[in-house]
């Protein structure tokens, strides 16, 4: 039997979460409060004890979707997924919460590894823990979600080797472009709150150039500023001739650092500022003791038809390990309502 307790103290929540396997920034106290302020999500933060030991945590966000309610455990819950009995007990409690609150669906998407490398088909590439947990979800009636909110796949750079060895592991082309940036006068500096308008302008230019929608400045200002103030985010700006030409924004929690945002101006791209920024960010993360630099996002389908293929080719040059996760899964207390909602939402998305 698990003991279950709600935690309402920020310091205690974050400190306890950091000690657990799979701790993620999207399960942090700050992320729950950010989504409360910007998306109308109400966080419920549950901790699970077994024999007096804290063994799992889950920050559940609940919100209204029209006349319905939905629940989402973003990049969680955090626990040791090798322990299937523990995983089953935590799932059972989450399912009870979903029924009690009358939600249409409950979604989880923990960073549980399914496979390493570009293909999940060779048996030696598959991860036994991920396969076993997926089988558990299926036995309990969970469904692989049509709505994959977060990136399912990523590239992760191991920061434990010496810095020179990390650099030597990059592709020759990537190392050359890092040197090109330095030769062409690109400098990189840390960015702070005063730089937020510049960071947004660069992000806006990138969105227009690459044809993706971005939110208003106030949304990013709140996210970047609040996480910077909490000591959970760090931004860098690449400059040429005292002008900002590119940026990256890192989020970090526990032993992991994520490259969440990146952008560049339309001018001076031949100076390779994005390569200089990534190298500066990796050095920063290494110096502060993070074990992994997560490049946050790789294609769902590893071929040139995927919209992320170009970005993936850039990231791939840094020679991080390609990691495929199990993705998002839905628990559906009301199957007929869920089916109708899924059908309508697909048609609406197609129309939009």
* DSSP notation for 176-228: HHHHHHHHTT-EEEEE-GGGHHHHHHHHHHHHHHHT-----HHHHHHHHHHHH
CA dist 264 and 244 (Å) reads 9
Q: What distances in angstroms separate CA 180 from CA 166, 168, 276, 277, one per listed residue? A: 18, 16, 9, 12
Stretch 109-116: mean pLDDT, rounded? 95
- Cα-based distances in Å from 313 to 102, 164, 174, 228, 298: 43, 22, 11, 29, 9
Mean of the per-residue pLDDT values of the chain: 94
Please, which pLDDT band fits residue 339 given cuts at 50, 70 and 90? Answer: confident
Longest dimension (CA), the chain: 63
- CATH entry 3.20.20.70 includes domain 3-112+327-351: no
Torsion of CA 269, 270, 272, 274, to 10 degrees: 20
Cα within 13 Å of Cα(134), Cβ side: 17
Lowest model confidence (mean pLDDT) among 22-36, 120-134, 146-160, 211-225: 120-134
Reported as a pLDDT band with limits 50, 70 and 90, residue 261 is: very high
Q: Is the pLDDT of residue 125 over 70?
A: yes
What are the tens digits of pLDDT across the range 193-245? 999 999 999 999 999 998 888 999 999 999 999 999 999 999 999 999 999 99
Where residue 123 falls among pLDDT bands split at 50, 70, 90? very low
Cα-based angle 106, 109, 114 (whole degrees, multiple of 5): 135
Residues 6+ away with beta carbon under 8 Å from 164: none
Question: How do residues 12-52 score in pLDDT, each as one tens digit?
Answer: 999 999 999 999 999 999 999 999 999 999 999 999 999 99
Return the pLDDT at 87: 98
Domain boundaries along the sequence of the chain: 3-112+327-351, 155-323
pLDDT attached to residue 352: 39
Give the list of residues 6+ apart from residue 200 with CB closer than 8 angstroms, or none: 217, 220, 221
Residue 300: band (very low, low, confident or very high) from pLDDT cuts 50, 70, 90 = confident
Question: Is the CB of residue 83 less than 8 Å from the CB of residue 120?
Answer: no
For residue 76, the model assigns a pLDDT of: 97
16 CB contacts (<8 Å, ≥6 apart)? 7, 47, 54, 57
> Which 3 state secondary structure label does DSSP give 234?
strand
**pLDDT for 249 beyond 50:** yes
Total length of the chain = 352
Using the predicted structure, report yes or no on whether residue 272 has a pLDDT greater than 60. Answer: yes
Q: How far is CA 304 from the centre of its chain?
A: 23
* Separation CA 169–CA 175 (nearest Å): 9
Where are any strands of DSSP class E within the chain?
3-6, 42-50, 53-65, 68-73, 78-79, 105-108, 113-116, 143-144, 153-158, 187-191, 233-240, 243-253, 256-264, 292-294, 321-325, 329-331
What's the pLDDT tens digit per position in 54-65?
Answer: 999 999 999 998
Q: Is residue 222 within 8 Å of residue 34, measured between CB atoms? A: yes
Q: For the structural domain made of 155-323, what CATH number should be given?
A: 3.40.630.30
Give residue 302's pLDDT: 87
> How sure is the predictor about 303, in pLDDT bands with cuts at 50, 70 and 90?
confident
Mean pLDDT of the region 273-295: 98
Q: How many helices (H) and strands (E) does the chain have?
A: 11, 16
Residue 124, classed as helix, strand or coil, is helix
- Counting beta carbons within 10 angstroms of the beta carbon of residue 10, is it exposed (0 to 12), middle (13 to 18) or buried (19 or more)? middle
Q: Is residue 347 over pLDDT 70? A: no
Say yes or no: do domains 3-112+327-351 and 155-323 share a fold: yes
């Amino acid at each position: 039997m698990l003991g279950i307790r709600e935690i309402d103290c920020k310091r205690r929540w974050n400190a306890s979460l950091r000690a657990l396997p799979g701790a993620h920034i999207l399960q942090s106290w700050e992320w729950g409060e950010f989504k409360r302020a910007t998306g109308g999500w109400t966080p419920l933060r549950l901790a699970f004890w077994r024999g007096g030991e804290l063994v799992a945590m889950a920050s559940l966000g609940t919100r209204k979707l029209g006349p319905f309610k939905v629940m989402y455990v973003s990049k969680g819950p955090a626990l040791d997924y090798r322990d299937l009995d523990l995983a089953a007990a935590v799932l059972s409690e989450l399912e009870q919460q979903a029924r009690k609150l009358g939600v249409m669906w409950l979604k989880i998407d923990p960073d549980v590894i399914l496979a390493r490398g570009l293909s999940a088909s060779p048996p030696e590439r598959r991860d036994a823990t991920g396969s076993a947990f997926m089988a558990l979800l299926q036995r309990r009636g969970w469904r692989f979600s049509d709505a994959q909110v977060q990136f399912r796949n990523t590239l992760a750079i191991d920061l434990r080797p010496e810095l020179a060895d990390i650099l030597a592991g990059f592709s020759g082309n990537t190392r050359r472009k890092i040197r090109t940036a330095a030769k062409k006068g690109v400098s990189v500096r840390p960015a702070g709150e005063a730089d937020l308008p510049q960071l947004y302008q660069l992000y806006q230019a990138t969105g227009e150039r690459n044809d993706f929608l971005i939110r208003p400045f106030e949304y990013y200002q709140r996210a970047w500023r609040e996480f910077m103030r909490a000591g959970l985010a760090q931004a860098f700006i690449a400059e040429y001739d005292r002008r900002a030409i590119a940026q990256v924004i890192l989020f970090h929690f526990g032993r992991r650092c994520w490259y969440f945002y990146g952008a560049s101006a339309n001018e001076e791209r031949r100076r390779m500022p994005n390569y200089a920024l990534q190298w500066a960010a990796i050095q920063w993360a290494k110096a502060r003791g993070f074990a992994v630099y997560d490049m946050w996002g790789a294609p769902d389908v590893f071929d040139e038809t995927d919209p992320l293929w170009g970005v993936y080719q850039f990231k791939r040059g840094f020679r991080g390990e390609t990691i495929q996760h199990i993705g998002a899964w839905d628990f559906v207390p009301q199957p007929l309502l869920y089916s109708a909602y899924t059908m309508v939402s697909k048609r609406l998305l197609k129309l939009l």
